[in-house]
Chains A and B, each alone.
Chain A
Amino acid sequence: MSSIHAPHLYRVVLIDDDILLHKLLEMYLFEHHYQLQSLSCGEEIRDFISQQTPDLILLDIMLPGKDGLHWLNWLKHNYPNIPVMLLSAKKSAEERLIGLEFGADDYLTKPFHPKELLIRIRKIMRHPTLANKHVTYQIGSNLFNPAHEHLERNNQLIKLTTQESSLLQFFCQRPDEILTRDCISQALNGNEHQPLNRSIDMTINRLRKKLGDHASNPRYLCTVWRKGYRLTLAP
């Protein structure tokens, strides 16, 4: 029996208040295996990103409310591993330099040809550091390597399961944030947390042990009463 595998869809978020550009890119990128989700202003990114991690963010500079450079700074501070491409109608070299200084991974001037955007997106996705292939996180005395699904402490390798590694990476991308079980379940499983399902709590307990944390008084993966969990990278 043969089986057909649907191609993996990369998740790209466009933050721009131009609905025609949304529609055009949504249709074009979908044909090339990128699922475009659209936000009309930067203020929407906080909620969005707490639910799911996109593979790439396309960020317009001229936005209603706070401008794209503000949100670029916020993203690079809170989610340094998510690549961001700035879009701007202005050709100002100064603005471009500020964007790149703030950590933008690329910069595209409007109007652009969608094919040029696609080429640049593919280039970013291929970049090893941006594709999260070599990213490591320091959690106290632990060095967490998501690509190899292991922790390293005192020159010892501690193997993680895929579920443990995914959960820990989700926390590492949001240090010091309180993450509810719903939000964790949505991000990892794509569905709401079922109150009787203890799998997240059990995975947290196993991670605490592997991190060398105390079960009753954890330093890294702390329980926030009636809310969820929070990771502190350097207590």
Chain B
Amino acid sequence: MNLSSPLDSLLDILGTEGTQCFLTFAQPNIQQYHHDITESLKQKNWDAAAAMAHRFKATAHLYSTATLQNLLDDIIAKQIDILQHPEFCQQLLLEFQYIETNIDSFLKKTTLINP
């Protein structure tokens, strides 16, 4: 089975079944993080966005891209000039969509094998 590289760390740690179980649990939480971080940035609530990015980063490094982790670092560091740039939220959206698609695709494949 050809698996996406951002999930390799997680697969190495938990194995395929464990990863399936963890990501099934994590999927709605990741979507919630995406929503809450974006909303906080829109409302210019830098502290709330930084706190959420901090928490999300504790596990996100195992299933997300280096680009998303760099964006989270900018949020944590409260780099306001970067965070206010119109492209920042757009890039954040794309990165979240990328990992969500990856997770979705992984879960669909593994559910067929381990229903």
Contacts and interface: CB of A to CB of B under 8 A. Distances in A.
Interface in A22-50: 23-24, 27-28, 31
Interface string A94-105: 000000000000
Contacts of B22: 23-24, 27
Nearest to A23: B25
B61 interface: yes
Interface residues of A, number: 17
A110 B58 contact: yes
Nearest to B59: A20
Contacts of A8: none
Contact of B58 (A18, A27, A28, A31): A18
Contact of A27 (B21, B29, B54, B76): B21
Given A27-B21, A27-B22, A20 B14 contact: no
Nearest to A27: B18
Interface of A: 17-21, 23-24, 27-28, 31, 62, 89, 110-111, 113-115
Given A89-B55, A89-B58, 17 more contacts: A18-B58, A19-B29, A20-B59, A23-B26, A24-B13, A24-B22, A24-B59, A24-B62, A27-B18, A27-B21, A28-B13, A31-B18, A89-B54, A89-B76, A111-B58, A114-B13, A114-B62
Interface of B: 9, 13-14, 18, 21-22, 25-26, 29, 54-62, 76
26 contacts: A18-B55, A18-B58, A18-B59, A19-B29, A20-B29, A21-B58, A23-B25, A23-B26, A24-B13, A24-B22, A24-B59, A24-B62, A27-B21, A28-B13, A28-B14, A62-B54, A110-B57, A110-B58, A111-B57, A111-B58, A111-B59, A111-B60, A111-B61, A113-B62, A114-B13, A115-B13
